[in-house]
């Protein structure tokens, strides 16, 4: 594109220069010629050395390849080959005009198989780049803000101990909502991480992001001194959010009810999903790639993959990436309730998030006993007379109602009641794992080029191997029934990373505790890795709840910490696995040691967004 675009200006100039020679020769006073006209006249003569001006122009216009190929097929004169550019032919030492510079723009133009080399600009080479070994990407720092801790070691120790961060919502009165529980961050401070002024103005999701990002830098050993030595043009930030500044937006709506004049002037900037990345880059002075990605609950993995790409391609050396969300608000809670996505187990908050588990609820037992009694009464009517709970003749005794409790009981009514009882029992059993638990938080990873990390002596948590993303292209909130999108995503991630299926022995699953999504993901994992006897699968959401756009990054942190420590955290509340679940695959309710070869972390989102990323212990090759 660039080469073909450069040809027309050059050809146009040459044609105009040549066509003007005859006119200038007969109609222009030589004494009044401008320097530019004299140069143009000289160049025209140089080009047309083998014939007259009119013949040269005619040749340009009638050549079979057209004007462009005619212009580019001529022999280059000796003066050009020894010159500094086209205008050096006239020996000018004066500064070029903008027009002159555009005409002499460097390019390598190829038309009809012929190539004319035009001098490249200073510092730009036209030589073919030599193939180099792909740059390796490593994780050198992590930072989190979660319901179970905002220090990485505290966070992961709580995961290993099975500490749940789910509790009753305290931020606002949620009496009107059927769901009253969430993964709320009870105590959070920006002291030492975010300026007091910004702490008062910015949305919570931004404050979580900035804090987690700064903590990732500190964890990576990037002090003020080290920060000053980094090439900030090669450092970037890609941290996304699923919902952005919901509180800021909600406050704006409330202000608008009074008057538009009451709206906070920072309302729009602080509500956008990219503001966190922008503010973090401003604070650090990092001038590399900077943007946000929003792909629902798969946001973090998309950001991590994009950040790694910038490093692999050589554009950046250091990238902060991850996600942040703060949606525990009336509008956020109400919106997810309306979707029918949230758990309603308000009486037992810590047991509400239970991926892959199915438990007989007391209500289910009641309905099952009722069904059994109806069946017995229908088949053995005389049995009712032997029930000793009520004395004979009392209104409560079944024998006092011979029409209802006798062998003549209408079978159709009995069958209807039994069917209804079965429906209620099954419905309550399934709804025991009745949805996910919303949570707030942020997770940020510092990805770094391996050689860059080694030069500064950084500690390395794990190596990022690669990943992939796909779309179900099926439903707004449901996975494809056969799980094909999930399988495709995992298999593409393995292929892109060059990892064999048998090498993956740990999966930090999406596992959101929803009835259908948990089963589909499990089946996809078994389809891909089922023959691996070492495979262990867990879900961080059983303790943190679903942190929406931040979940992928927080779970990526859990994954690299598992690689570092050699321990994988439990699936709390997995007391009675759902049908078809293999406990030789799923981690139980206690932590387990595991020598991880390759770890996979999944994140999926509304809209059919699927993403998988892979990490492994760093090995010096």
pLDDT at 232: 97
114-117/108-111 β-pairing: antiparallel
pLDDT greater at residue 430 or residue 590: 590
Residue 12 has pLDDT above 90, yes or no: no
pLDDT in tens, 474-506: 999 888 888 999 999 999 999 999 999 999 999
Burial (CB < 10 A; 0-12, 13-18, 19+), residue 555, is buried
Distance, CA of 538 to CA of 582 (rounded, Å): 12
- Greatest extent of the chain over all pairs of C-alpha atoms, in Å: 137
**pLDDT band for position 228 (cuts 50, 70, 90):** very high
d(CA 547, CA 562): 19
Please state the rounded mean pLDDT for residues 52-72. 41
pLDDT for residue 104 is more than 90: no
Q: What is the pLDDT of residue 133?
A: 72
* Residues sharing a CB contact under 8 Å with residue 215, sequence separation 6 or more, in sequence order: 143, 144, 150, 151, 152, 193, 444
385: its two tokens:
């007379």
What value does the mean pLDDT take over residues 270-292? 97
Name the pLDDT band for 52 (thresholds 50, 70, 90).
very low
CA distance 256 to 243: 21
% of the chain at pLDDT higher than 90? 63
What's the pLDDT tens digit per position in 362-392? 555 556 666 666 666 666 655 544 444 444 5
531-551 per-position pLDDT tens digit: 889 999 999 999 999 999 999
Q: Is the pLDDT of residue 204 over 60?
A: yes
Which residue is associated with the tokens 């995503």? 489
Tell me the average pLDDT of the chain. 80
pLDDT per residue as tens digits for the range 105-158: 444 434 334 443 434 444 434 344 444 578 999 999 999 999 999 999 999 999
d(CA 343, CA 331): 17
Highest mean pLDDT out of 89-98, 108-117, 223-232: 223-232
Tell me which of 366-380, 428-442, 460-474 is least confident: 366-380
Buried b (16+ CB within 10 A) or exposed e, 505-539: bbbbbbbbbbeebbbbbbbbbbebbeebeebbbbb
Strand partners for 603: 611
For the ranges 78-82, 98-102, 212-216, the one whose mean pLDDT is highest? 212-216
- DSSP string covering 536-550: EEE-THHHH-B-GGG
CA 53 to chain centre: 63
- 609 vs 64: which has the higher pLDDT: 609
What letter would DSSP give residue 439?
B
* 397 — pLDDT class (breaks 50, 70, 90): very low
pLDDT band at 358 (very low <50, low <70, confident <90, very high): confident
Identify the pLDDT of residue 87. Answer: 36
With tokens 């001038």, the residue in question is 287
Residue 270 tokens read as 């602080």
Q: Span 273-301, mean pLDDT? A: 97
What is the distance between the alpha carbons of residues 88 and 145, in angstroms, rounded to a whole number?
63
Range with the poorest average pLDDT among 189-193, 364-368, 578-582? 364-368
Residues of the chain above pLDDT 70, percent: 67
Please state which of the ranges 31-35, 247-251, 325-329 shows the lowest mean pLDDT: 31-35
């Amino acid at each position: 594109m660039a080469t073909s675009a450069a040809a027309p200006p050059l050809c146009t100039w040459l044609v105009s220069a040549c066509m003007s020679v005859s006119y200038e020769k007969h109609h222009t006073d030589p004494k009044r010629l401008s320097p530019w006209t004299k140069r143009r006249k000289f160049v025209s003569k140089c080009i047309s050395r083998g014939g007259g001006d009119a013949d040269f122009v005619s040749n340009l216009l009638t050549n079979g390849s057209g004007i462009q190929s005619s212009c580019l097929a001529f022999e280059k004169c000796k003066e050009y080959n020894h010159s500094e550019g086209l205008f050096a032919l006239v020996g000018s030492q004066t500064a070029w005009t903008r027009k002159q510079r555009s005409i002499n723009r460097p390019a390598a133009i190829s038309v009809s198989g012929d190539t004319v080399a035009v001098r490249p600009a200073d510092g730009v080479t036209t030589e073919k780049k030599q193939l180099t070994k792909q740059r390796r990407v490593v994780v050198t720092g992590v930072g989190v803000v979660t319901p179970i801790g905002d220090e990485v070691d505290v966070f992961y120790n709580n995961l290993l101990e099975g500490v749940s961060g789910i509790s009753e919502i305290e931020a606002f009165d949620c009496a009107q909502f059927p769901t009253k529980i969430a993964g709320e961050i009870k105590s959070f401070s920006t002291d030492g991480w975010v300026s007091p002024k910004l702490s008062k103005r910015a949305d919570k999701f931004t404050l979580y992001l900035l804090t987690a990002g700064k903590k990732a830098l500190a964890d990576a050993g990037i002090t003020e001194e080290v920060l000053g030595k980094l090439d900030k043009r090669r450092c970037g930030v890609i941290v996304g959010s699923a919902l952005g500044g919901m509180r800021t937006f909600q406050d704006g709506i409330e202000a608008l009810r009074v008057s538009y004049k009451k709206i906070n002037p920072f309302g729009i900037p602080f509500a956008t999903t990219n503001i966190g990345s922008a503010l973090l880059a401003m604070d650090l002075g990092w001038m590399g790639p900077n943007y946000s990605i929003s792909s629902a609950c798969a946001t973090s993995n998309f950001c991590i993959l994009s950040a790694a790409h910038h490093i692999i391609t050589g554009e950046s050396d250091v990238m902060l990436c991850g996600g942040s969300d703060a949606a525990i608000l009336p509008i956020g809670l109400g919106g997810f309730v309306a979707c029918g996505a949230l758990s309603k187990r308000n009486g037992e908050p810590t047991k509400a998030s239970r991926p892959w588990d199915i438990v007989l609820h007391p209500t289910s037992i009641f309905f099952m006993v009722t069904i059994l009694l109806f069946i017995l009464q229908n088949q053995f009517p005389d049995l009712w007379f032997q029930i000793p709970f009520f004395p004979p003749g009392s209104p409560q005794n079944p024998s006092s109602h011979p029409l209802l409790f006798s062998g003549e009981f209408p079978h159709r009514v009995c069958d209807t009641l039994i069917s209804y009882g079965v429906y209620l029992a099954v419905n309550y059993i399934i709804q025991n794992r009745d949805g996910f638990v919303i949570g707030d938080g942020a997770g940020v990873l510092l990805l770094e080029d391996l050689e860059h990390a080694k030069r500064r002596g950084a500690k390395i948590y794990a190596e990022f191997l690669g990943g992939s993303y796909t779309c179900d292209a099926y439903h707004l909130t449901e996975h494809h029934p056969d799980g094909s999108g999930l399988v495709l995503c995992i298999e593409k991630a393995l292929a892109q990373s060059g990892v064999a299926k048998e090498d993956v022995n740990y999966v930090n699953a999406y596992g959101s505790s929803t009835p259908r999504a948990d089963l589909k993901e499990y089946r996809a994992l078994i389809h891909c890795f089922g023959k691996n006897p070492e495979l262990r699968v867990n879900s961080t959401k059983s303790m943190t709840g679903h942190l929406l756009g931040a979940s992928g990054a927080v779970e990526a942190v859990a994954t690299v910490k598992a690689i570092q420590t050699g321990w994988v955290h439990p699936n709390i509340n997995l007391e009675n696995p759902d049908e078809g679940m293999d406990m030789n695959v799923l981690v139980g309710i206690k932590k387990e040691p595991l020598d991880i070869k390759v770890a996979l972390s999944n994140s999926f989102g509304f809209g059919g967004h699927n993403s998988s990323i892979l990490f492994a212990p760093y090995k010096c090759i």
